[in-house]
Amino acid sequence: MPYIMALLNCFLYTRYGLPVASYKWENFPVVTINGLGIFLELSFILIYFYYASTDGKKKVAMMTLPVLLLSCSVVLISTFVFHDHHHRKAFVGSVGLVAWVAMYGSPLVVVRKVIQTKSVEFMPFYLSLFSFLASSLWMAYGLLSHDLFLAVSVIIRQLVDVRVNKCQKAEKETDAESYGHTSQRE
């Protein structure tokens, strides 16, 4: 699920950065990075698809199809309904903002597993850390380029990251306390 949401995000933000939606090439870094993201996410999905069982292939296809339809719909609507850069950028940026939140929210499914198992082994710390750092760079880019759609989406992401990291820290402290109490009883 996270890879499919990341693919949607990359499709939308590539469209957002292209001169069709943005003014000239003001968001060229957004286009190049998300264009590479499309290639990588499609590669990950195709590799999974190749090795998946028949049921897994159906599940991936059923989740990928709406992403492709939504991406095509955004392209068509932004091209034929909105006739100036400002409105196209606002439309694609708004849909992209929702996709960004969904993309970074999809790994939160792991939080449920952490709560159920009461173990943080399913949440890799370094992945969370470097994701936080990458988001910080995008936020800086969005703020410096005065692009609120980029900056606001990353601010939301940072808030989610901080909340997840607090849950991880609290869980580790709880585990340490539980371990300490059991060793004192013995």
Write a three-state SS string for the chain: CHHHHHHHHHHHHHHHHCCCCCCCCCCHHHHHHHHHHHHHHHHHHHHHHHHCCHHHHHHHHHHHHHHHHHHHHHHHHHHHCCCCHHHHHHHHHHHHHHHHHHHHHHHHHHHHHHHHHCCCCCCCHHHHHHHHHHHHHHHHHHHHCCCHHHHHHHHHHHHHHHHHHHHHHHHHHHHHHHHHHHHHHC
pLDDT band, residue 96 (cuts 50/70/90)? confident
Q: Are 48 and 60 in contact (CB under 8 A)?
A: yes
* 177 vs 139, residue with greater confidence: 139
| Residue 184, pLDDT score | 46
* 179 vs 75, residue with greater confidence: 75
Query: Residue for token digits 């992403």?
Result: 67
Q: What average pLDDT does the segment 5-24 reach?
A: 85
| Residue 170, pLDDT score | 61
pLDDT band, residue 69 (cuts 50/70/90)? very high
Number of domains in the chain: 1
User: From the centroid of its chain, how far is CA 70?
Assistant: 16
**Smallest Cα–Cα separation from 16: which of 25, 7, 4?**
25
Q: Are 67 and 11 in contact (CB under 8 A)?
A: yes
| Residue 77, pLDDT score | 93
**Smallest Cα–Cα separation from 114: which of 165, 148, 76?**
165
Give the domain extent around 133: 2-185
Q: Are 184 and 128 in contact (CB under 8 A)?
A: no
Range name among 8-12, 34-38, 45-49, 151-155 with the lowest pLDDT average: 151-155
Average pLDDT, the chain: 79
**Smallest Cα–Cα separation from 39: which of 12, 10, 67?**
10
Prediction pTM value: 0.71
* 31 vs 2, residue with greater confidence: 31
